[in-house]
């Protein structure tokens, strides 16, 4: 799932695709459906290589490929449900240079290089300091922030958000799945996730409990619309997480 800067009514149908790319840059694509009453931001923690600058994350506009995940799922004809086996300094905002904002399809996006840089964002799009104190592992992370609008009353489904980042560890592939939906960090959370990954020349993810696609993406996706994120000639893998799980990120080790 992800972290939200304001409370949400509901979140569902989360899809995440991850692949390690050249030069230690990881690709990540994310989509979900949500219901909220206020403008808010979705915050994705990223294990970026440090020191990081605000231009180190490269955003990709997939507005014209809203079917990214529905097409990707066509490579898995039968569903496969997998079991679970497997404090921040307060900085005054006045006088700080605001972070760069990038237009990515229907969103405005920013990369926050360090926790200490969050005061450079609009207060509506931050989490409270007490929340970060409950997540000490993110002290050395950067953060992709997407500004969302609820739109019409009811559930909103957003087009895939995509980007790449320089990873701290090019021997792993990272999926941000920690939930913060009410400003609090709970030990367990409800997941409604489909996770996808793909091997590349940089390594083969350890996917013992994941389902393999029935063929190459060239047979079930419009690969050219993914702008280099999906490889046409490598099988993909899928893991579904539905129900209650430990509230933690999913990290796959790569066999090089």
Per-residue pLDDT reduced to its tens digit, 12-47: 999 999 999 999 999 999 999 988 888 888 999 999
C-alpha torsion sign, points 120, 54, 66, 82: negative
End-to-end CA, the chain: 28
Structural tokens at position 158: 């957003």
Asked if pLDDT for residue 149 goes beyond 80, the answer is no
The count of structural domains within the chain is 1
**Over 70: is that where the pLDDT of 79 sits?**
no
CATH code of 155's domain: 2.60.250
- The beta strands (E) that lie in 10-149 are given as 10-20, 25-35, 40-46, 58-61, 102-104, 107-112, 142-148
Question: Which has more pLDDT, 79 or 221?
Answer: 221
Residue range(s) defining the domain that contains residue 136: 3-255
């Amino acid at each position: 799932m992800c972290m939200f800067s304001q409370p949400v009514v509901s979140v569902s149908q989360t899809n995440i695709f991850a692949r390690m790319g050249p030069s230690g840059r990881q690709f990540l694509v994310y989509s979900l459906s949500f219901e909220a009453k206020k403008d808010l931001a979705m915050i994705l923690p990223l294990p970026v290589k440090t020191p990081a600058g605000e231009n180190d994350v490269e955003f990709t506009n997939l507005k014209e490929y809203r079917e990214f995940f529905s097409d990707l799922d066509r490579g898995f004809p039968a569903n496969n449900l997998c079991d679970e086996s497997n404090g921040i300094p307060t900085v005054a905002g006045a006088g700080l240079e605001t972070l760069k904002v990038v237009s990515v399809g229907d969103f405005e996006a920013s990369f926050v290089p360090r926790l200490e840089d969050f005061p450079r964002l609009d207060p509506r799009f931050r989490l409270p300091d007490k929340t970060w104190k409950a997540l000490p592992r993110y002290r050395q992370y950067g953060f992709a922030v997407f500004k969302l609008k609820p739109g019409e009353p009811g559930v909103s489904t957003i087009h895939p958000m995509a980007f790449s980042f320089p990873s701290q560890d090019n021997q792993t592939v990272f999926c941000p799945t920690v939930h913060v939906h009410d400003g609090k960090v709970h030990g367990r959370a409800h997941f409604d996730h489909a996770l996808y990954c793909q091997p590349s020349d940089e390594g083969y993810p350890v996917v013992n409990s994941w389902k393999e696609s029935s063929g190459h993406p060239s047979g079930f996706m419009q690969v050219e619309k993914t702008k280099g994120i999906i490889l046409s000639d490598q099988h993909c893998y899928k893991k579904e997480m539905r129900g209650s799980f430990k509230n933690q990120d999913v990290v796959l080790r790569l066999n090089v």
